Structure 1
Amino acid sequence: MADSTRPELPGVLARMWGREPAPRRGPKPSLDLARITKAATEIADADGLAAVSMNNVASRLGVAPMSLYRYVGSKDELLLAMLDAAAGEPPSPDGLSRREYLARWTRANVDLFVARPWLLSIAERPPLGPRGLLWLERLLAALDDTPLDDNEKILIGTTLSGYARNEASLIITLEGSSKDGTEPSSAAAYGELMAELVDEETYPRLARISRGRVFAGGDAAWIDEGDFWSSLDLLLDGIDSLIARRRGANTRP
């Protein structure tokens, strides 16, 4: 007898996890979720997420649009499959320390989004596919030797993935705007523009900063690797501090 307390998996999730019952008779289907997802991903890579539609995917595969609905019930289901497929494999621990692995995990997230900017618009949904959940599993494994509770570990994953999305969004936005001339082309140019705009009475702190060395850097690109790692260090320092506090609390008499 089936367990009535277990949720019934939506069709696309069952297929992503290999849980869909295999057909007993008849010819092997010419389509499968992997082929559909690959075609949709290729369209998104070439023309952006807005170009992904059931009609366009069907046309790329040379089939009728209605034939896709046996595998994906809607565009939202297709996006869920695309998000998981694009995630790929999470970085391997490779004997890294906890802090080193969390840094590598976060950097890999940034690289993933920068390589496929269209992922940013769908990546805020919680992971449900096998690849997305493996990323979360690897991060949790890096926290195994800490006294943090499960909720705190999940929050760390949410915080680091959110930082990665924000960093990737900043890279993509600034690179695009500097190319079309709508924004300053470098941090130095931004500092010069700010210095021209702000006055010392209303914006005393920004006036001091803009006239200092904070935005100096010649014509270097907006996004500096040092800035990324410095900001990430702030988050990792906070995680280390939380772990130290929990360990201290657990050793008190």
Structure 2
Amino acid sequence: MDVLWGERPTPRRGPRPAFDTERIARAGIEIADREGLSAVTMQRVAESLGVTKMALYRYVPGKAELVALMVDIGLGRPPAVDATSWRAALTAWARELFLRFYAHPWSLEATRGARLIGPNELTWMEIAVAALADSGLDGAETLDTVVVLTGHVRSLGEQTRAYDTVSAEDPLTSGFQAILTGREDRFPAVTAAFASAAASGKTNQALDFGVDRILDGVETLIASRR
């Protein structure tokens, strides 16, 4: 809590601190972006900054706190949403959140399970909840909407990154086509679906499709209250 939300006290004696928590976290982000979260250690971060590991403990107590900082700084503050409706606002919000997770795939792993969140991450939630403030949904329904959208974004982030190793141009389609080749008779429905999607040019639209269907349901619920 102190590392994410508070000001760590500056040592009164000795030389002026050469680092701050953001600089240390960004050094960890660079390592995680290249090599994954497992490669991030206090020792590696210290080496990248040209200091001893013990020097970092003046700012960050350990790896758990370091990763928490990395997540909050990596996601960053959300962009201002200039939208005419709650639906347009949440659509833009979901797309931007996907891009942040995609840019830092390790953050998907780092944000699983119970944990404290930082000011940037809470600001993402604030913007999404505020978009629904006048929708007629109660607090629980509003929070659940944000949870469902976030789950969809995270799921697509993980899948997209996984398939990136297959092909940079059309990872999902090319990966399945390689598997289906020579097995079309065994999986005719899947083969036909991929052929239809390729012909229509509507491949790799799962993010927007899912967001639209989630918000269709929310819109129906809101309309029913009227």
Counterpart residue number, 2:134: 145
| TM-score, reference length from structure 2 | 0.85
Q: Assess if the C-alpha contact under 8 Å between 1:110 and 1:168 holds in 2.
A: yes
CA distance in structure 2 between the aligned counterparts of 1:114 and 1:75, rounded to whole angstroms: 22
Counterparts in 2 of 1:103-114, with a 5 A limit? 103-114=91-102
Counterpart residue number, 2:70: 82
CA distance in structure 2 between the aligned counterparts of 1:111 and 1:240, rounded to whole angstroms: 25
Summarize the Cα distance change of 1:146–1:194 in structure 2 as closer, same or farther, 3 Å threshold: farther
Summarize the Cα distance change of 1:170–1:55 in structure 2 as closer, same or farther, 3 Å threshold: same
- Taking only the aligned residue pairs, the percentage that are identical comes to 37
CA distance in structure 2 between the aligned counterparts of 1:221 and 1:119, rounded to whole angstroms: 31
Measure how far apart 1:35 and its partner are.
1.4
Counterparts in 2 of 1:57-68, with a 5 A limit? 57-68=45-56
Counterpart residue number, 1:94: 82
Q: Assess if the C-alpha contact under 8 Å between 1:186 and 1:221 holds in 2.
A: no
Counterpart residue number, 1:167: 156
Q: Assess if the C-alpha contact under 8 Å between 2:101 and 2:107 holds in 1.
A: yes
Q: Name which of 6, 9, 12 aligns with 2:3.
A: 12
Q: Assess if the C-alpha contact under 8 Å between 1:37 and 1:78 holds in 2.
A: yes
CA distance in structure 2 between the aligned counterparts of 1:186 and 1:137, rounded to whole angstroms: 38
Measure how far apart 1:101 and its partner are.
1.0
Measure how far apart 1:20 and its partner are.
3.8
Tell me if 1:52 matches 2:40: yes
Counterpart residue number, 2:220: 241
Summarize the Cα distance change of 1:221–1:23 in structure 2 as closer, same or farther, 3 Å threshold: farther
Measure how far apart 1:242 and its partner are.
2.1
Q: Assess if the C-alpha contact under 8 Å between 2:136 and 2:222 holds in 1.
A: yes
Number of aligned positions between the proteins: 222
Summarize the Cα distance change of 1:79–1:223 in structure 2 as closer, same or farther, 3 Å threshold: farther
Structure ranking higher on relative contact order (CA contacts 8 Å, 6+ apart) = 2
Counterpart residue number, 1:133: 122
Q: CA offsets, 1:68-99, max 9 Å, x none?
A: 12222221111100000001121322133110
| TM-score, reference length from structure 1 | 0.76
Unaligned runs of 5+ in 2: none
* Aligned amino acid, residue 139 of structure 2: D
Summarize the Cα distance change of 1:101–1:176 in structure 2 as closer, same or farther, 3 Å threshold: same
Counterpart residue number, 1:157: 146
Measure how far apart 1:222 and its partner are.
9.9
CA distance in structure 1 between the aligned counterparts of 2:173 and 2:137, rounded to whole angstroms: 43
Summarize the Cα distance change of 1:222–1:112 in structure 2 as closer, same or farther, 3 Å threshold: farther
Summarize the Cα distance change of 1:220–1:22 in structure 2 as closer, same or farther, 3 Å threshold: farther
Larger Rg: 1
CA distance in structure 2 between the aligned counterparts of 1:184 and 1:243, rounded to whole angstroms: 36
Counterpart residue number, 1:124: 112
* Aligned amino acid, residue 36 of structure 2: G
